[in-house]
Amino acid sequence: VEVSRGKSILAAVGDNMVSQPGVAGDFLSALGQAGVNIDAIAQGSSERNISVVIDGADSSRALRAVHSAFYLSKQTIGVGLIGAGLIGQEFLKQLQAELAQLRSSFGIDVRVRGIMNSKRMLLDGKDERGVPEIDWLSFAHHENSKSADPNFFINHLNSSHLPHRVIIDATAGDSFIHSYPEWLKSGFHVITPNKKANTQSLDFYNSIRTAEKAGKKRFLYSTNVGAGLPILQTLRELCQTGDRMIRIEGVLSGTLSYIFNTFDGKIPFSEIVKEARKLGFTEPDPRDDLSGTDVARKLVILAREAGQKIELKDIEVESLVPESLRDLSPTEYLDRLSEGDPEMSSELARAHSRSEVLRYVGVIEESGRASVKLASFPRSHAFSGLSGADNIVSFHTTRYRTRPLVIQGPGAGPEVTAAGVFADLLRLASSLGAPR
């Protein structure tokens, strides 16, 4: 006989419990998933009791895990939101409005366990019930809010006994993207509207996919192209069901869509750009839009989704900023914006002479060639009918070879982007077994 010390006994007791198929399994599964070693199992002949011997150090974790297994919905998801700008706040508002409905109709129990911006963070209590909804939007001013500390934030979420946890990166920068692989491996799902991670090197892109598989967790980013429009999701399903991409073509920038939908020759190009800037449609420095880099980023994401091994630098980009204006300060640039007008006017005249209109498009060919360029389209073409700041994408595939599958609509803005992030969260819940 050998005596082991520091052991605990955890017992589940209930009338006729043992004769109900599955109870013992659920009990032991919960311990297994929580990483609790079981030294011995005993089931009393009374059929009212199943007991396990475990390490004493594991006892608190084991108790919580078993409690979760029997009393929580399997779709209980702990959410950590990083970034509370326009998109993050809008997401919280939309989630607030649907929380009760999700719980009652779909059994999805979303708990916002932490919200953090660049300065402050607010975390929920040890009961893991989530930050109360009423504090979501004002979290930074809550008396329990602390200075933002990403490590502390992640650890708080990570020490959870909820069945699932997800980090939503709603920041605009690249501060957190290099943590995605680590997060995925350590048990977090990751959702982001941020394009940065998917436009890094192919090596980094692949490292995220490897981490997804290693951690059996999911990385969701449907809003990277076209915000709430079902563009990436559709492409993914076409590819997964064995369709082959022949050409993807689209107007992928709301800003440039607006500019060329408006540019009909009556007003100089530079005036339209200035007007768009005044309306807040362009970045403060319009060159950030006119350079085509944003469109190129979206093209990389689409091409990679379609299975192409492509880097951002492989994309041929026709910048709409004349070379002579590229190195100017923003103010100088705006002053001299009209210097590009003759070139744009002659492009437009060429298109008009063929009864066509100008659109700034991104194109991915089956061959792997990808380009961002100014092109002209006949008036019967779907791209000609664009108006407002709509995005449009047409998928020419083996199945849609005669006529493409086309998706069109507003492809930017906090409301539709947040809705897309929300849809990703529901897709995640669905993949965890929630009914859709």
**What string of H, E and C letters represents the secondary structure of the chain?**
CCCCCCEEEEEEECCCHHHCCCHHHHHHHHHHHCCCCEEEEEECCCCCEEEEEEEHHHHHHHHHHHHHHHHCCCEEEEEEEECCCHHHHHHHHHHHHHHHHHHHHHCEEEEEEEEECCCEEEECCCCCCCCCHHHCCCHHHCCCCEECCHHHHHHHHHCCCCCEEEEEECCCCCCCHHHHHHHHHCCEEEECCCCCHHHCCHHHHHHHHHHHHHHCCCEECHHHCCCCCCHHHHHHHHHHCCCCEEEEEEECCHHHHHHHHHCCCCCCHHHHHHHHHHCCCCCCCCHHHHCCHHHHHHHHHHHHHCCCCCCHHHCEECCCCCHHHCCCCHHHHHHCHHHHHHHHHHHHHHHHHCCEEEEEEEEEECCCCEEEEEEEEECCCHHHHCCCCEEEEEEEECCCCCCCEEEEEECCCHHHHHHHHHHHHHHHHHHCCCCC
Q: Is the Cβ of residue 325 or residue 393 nearer to a second copy in the bound state?
A: 393
Q: How far is the CB of 335 from a second copy (least distance, A)?
A: 33
Q: Give the nearer residue to a second copy in terms of CB position, either 27 or 333.
A: 27
Q: Does residue 146 have an active-site annotation?
A: no
Contacts 24+ apart (CB under 8 A), 319-323: 319/290, 319/291, 319/292, 320/256, 320/290, 320/291, 320/292, 320/344, 320/360, 320/374, 321/287, 321/290, 321/291
Give whichever of 363 and 432 is closer to a second copy, judged by the CB atom.
Answer: 432
Shortest Å distance, C-beta 263 to a second copy: 16
CB of 316 to a second copy, least distance (A): 28
**Which phi and psi angles does 40 have, rounded to 5°?**
-155, 150
Query: Among candidates 410, 406, 405, which has minimal Cα distance to 420?
Result: 410
State the Cα–Cα distance between residues 164 and 78, nearest whole angstrom: 6
Smallest gap, in angstroms, from Cβ of residue 388 to a second copy? 5
Residue number, 19 or 329, with CB nearest to a second copy: 19
Q: How far is the CB of 306 from a second copy (least distance, A)?
A: 15
Question: In the complex with a second copy, which residue's Cβ is closer, 310 or 434?
Answer: 434
Q: Which is nearer to a second copy, 18 or 310 (CB)?
A: 18
Give the up-direction half-sphere exposure of residue 244: CA atoms within 13 A in the CB hemisphere. 5
Q: Using an 8 Å Cβ cutoff, are 33 and 65 in contact?
A: yes
Q: How far is the CB of 130 from a second copy (least distance, A)?
A: 18
CB of 228 to a second copy, least distance (A): 7
From 126, 298, 313, 373, the catalytic residue: 298
Instruction: Please identify, using beta-carbon distances, which residue of 187 and 268 lies nearer to a second copy.
Output: 187
C-beta of 94 vs 345, nearer to a second copy: 94
Asked whether 312 and 331 are in contact (CB, 8 A), the reply is no
Query: Is 243 or 294 the residue whose CB approaches a second copy more closely?
Result: 243
CB of 236 to a second copy, least distance (A): 7
Q: How far is the CB of 6 from a second copy (least distance, A)?
A: 16
Catalytic residue set? 298
